[in-house]
């Protein structure tokens, strides 16, 4: 499976930089990038974009994202997955967990669900 990640605009850009330095074959986009949702896009619209483009969302939004996902699923839509990062995690463990997922996940393993990091 080819994992593609969309990083929420509140995730430090250094995560993408470090991930691509170690794994240049990955596709890691950030909200605000060309062809990605612009900064300030409502969460519901971000989920629609992730569904259409098959990107897993990486965010730290623990408050409203579960509500938006429930509404998205209730409207008979799907998402490849959402990873919610614990604010206490540092970049190294976040990157390692995302790399494990990219290397080991099977097709649709994280579809329609939220996974809270740390996963391991």
Q: How far apart are the first and last CA of the chain?
A: 20
Band (pLDDT 50/70/90 cuts) for residue 87 is confident
The domain limits of the chain are 15-117
Q: Over the stretch 93-112, which tens digit does the pLDDT of each residue have? A: 999 999 999 989 988 999 99
Size of the chain, expressed as the number of residues it contains: 120
**CA-based nearest residue to 53, from 36, 75, 30:** 36
Q: Please state, in angstroms and rounded to a whole number, the distance separating the CA atoms of residues 19 and 96.
A: 9
For residues 75 and 41, the answer to whether their CB atoms sit within 8 Å is no
- The H or E element containing residue 56 is strand 56-59
């Amino acid at each position: 499976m080819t994992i593609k990640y969309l990083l929420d605009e509140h995730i430090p850009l250094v995560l993408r930089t470090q991930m691509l330095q170690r794994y240049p074959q990955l596709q890691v986009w950030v909200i605000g990038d060309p062809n990605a949702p612009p900064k300030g896009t409502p969460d519901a619209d971000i989920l629609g974009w992730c569904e259409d483009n098959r990107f897993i969302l990486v965010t730290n939004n623990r408050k409203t994202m579960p509500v938006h996902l429930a509404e998205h699923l209730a409207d008979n839509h799907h998402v490849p997955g959402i990873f919610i990062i614990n604010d206490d995690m540092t970049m190294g463990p976040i990157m390692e967990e995302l790399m494990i997922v990219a290397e080991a996940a099977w097709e649709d393993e994280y579809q329609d669900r939220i996974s809270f990091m740390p996963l391991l």
